[in-house]
Amino acid sequence: QADETVTVNLFVNGEPRQLQVTSNVVLLDALRDELHLTGTKKGCDHGQCGACTVHVEGKAINSCLRLAVMCEGQHITTVEGLARNGELHPVQRAFLDHDAYQCGYCTPGQMMSAAALLEDDRIAADDASVREAMSGNICRCGAYKNILEAVQDARQ
Ligand code: FES
């Protein structure tokens, strides 16, 4: 039943969290509406824009396409969890240094994809490979040049 309320246990940014959600609630809405972690953005709500990107078990995923109940027991990192011990993540630092945003709406998703990319040594160092790896994140302002520079800088 889609409207059945279920209990979901997650680790969000290192903290154990328990949610009561209906079984059709996607992770994006659970994070924003239940946990008030509104850094993760809703753009298309259809897996096309990447604004909702978070890490589940260290992998970047579109949280608008993942049911919250499917994440039982899993570790989720949102943009709020990217900085550690009061230090910006290298990707956050690089986005600042390179002005890699305009309106900023896509920025959390861009940074989560970039942070996952930094951990993935299968992605080659050239610009074309980084562009391809980041191609699921759309920036309607067209700040791609600076985003690419930031990701490449963070990768150094
Ligand atoms: Fe999830 Fe656009 S809101 S991909």
CATH topology of domain 90-155: DNA polymerase; domain 1 (1.10.150)
77-111 tens-digit pLDDT: 999 999 999 999 999 999 999 999 999 999 999 99
**N- to C-terminal Cα distance for the chain?**
49
19's enclosing H/E stretch is strand 15-22
Q: Write out residues in the chain with pLDDT < 50, as ranges.
A: none
DSSP state of 142: -
- What ipTM does this complex have? 0.98
Distance 133 CA to ligand 1 centre (A): 16
- For a pocket test of ligand 1, which of 62, 110, 113, 134 has the largest count of ligand atoms closer than 8 A to its C-beta? 62
Predicted model pTM: 0.96
Is 11:57 a contact under the CB 8 Å cutoff?
no
For 43, 71, 74, 82, 131, the CA distances from 12, given in Å and listed in that order, are 21, 11, 8, 11, 28
Where along the chain do its domains lie? 5-81, 90-155
Residue in this structure with the two tokens 């900023």, named with its chain if needed: 104
Its CATH class, for the domain covering 5-81, is alpha beta
Place of tokens 């002005």: 99
